[in-house]
Chains A and B, each alone.
Chain A
């Protein structure tokens, strides 16, 4: 029984296309996150939602739009994909935003833009 799941696992698409990645957690957590891991394995926060409310919005192109239909789901939509968007995107969740709230990560979605 997967705690944080993402679909799809792999996504290969052409430049200029629009794509979505879905994330679901069954941990009953209130907070969810999107991270991007580049080719150098550097993980960087993109967005965070707490109970469907956006709380972190890092310097990310506005082609990226997160949507949280409920607190168990956080989807990421990307418009007009560019080569530089190729990366692994990880979803994570935590009980809250407190200092002792551990973040648990999904398996990642490897996006390749051709």
Chain B
């Protein structure tokens, strides 16, 4: 059965810290991996990764995929209180239906 596991489940840091969130997966015929940020409402899209070793970057956030070891990491540098959210990792497998399998999320709290 397809599975996505995120770690840690929760994390508390102080402003200015750097955090690394992990996502590992077991999926038949991997197609893509996506990261979302969920604050109070809708998950908002951060990154889509399809190729190994190519870092995607947006401001203080970056992500990379390792298709050999079946994992991805999301890095946030110089964290701010506005980074507090649930970070969701999702993988699209071979079903060709667009179906996303989500991990259980990492809850990040950034304290002032």
- Which chain A residues have a beta carbon within 8 Å of chain B's beta carbons? 4, 31, 33, 40-45, 48, 50, 55-56, 90, 94, 96-108
Contact = CB atoms under 8 A, between A and B. Distances in A.
Given A102-B34, A108-B42, A94 B98 contact: yes
Interface in B4-49: 31-32, 34, 36, 38, 41-45, 48
B60 interface: no
Interface of B: 31-32, 34, 36, 38, 41-45, 48, 50, 86, 88, 90, 92, 95-102, 104-105, 107
Given A102-B34, A103-B98, 16 more contacts: A41-B107, A42-B105, A43-B88, A44-B102, A48-B98, A97-B97, A99-B50, A99-B92, A100-B32, A101-B98, A102-B45, A102-B48, A103-B34, A104-B45, A105-B36, A107-B42
21 contacts: A4-B42, A33-B98, A42-B104, A43-B90, A43-B105, A45-B99, A48-B97, A48-B99, A55-B98, A56-B95, A56-B99, A90-B42, A90-B43, A96-B98, A98-B98, A99-B92, A102-B34, A103-B45, A105-B42, A105-B44, A108-B42
A41 B87 CA distance: 10
Main secondary structure, interface of B, reads strand
Contacts of A40: 104
Given A99-B31, A99-B32, A105 B104 contact: no
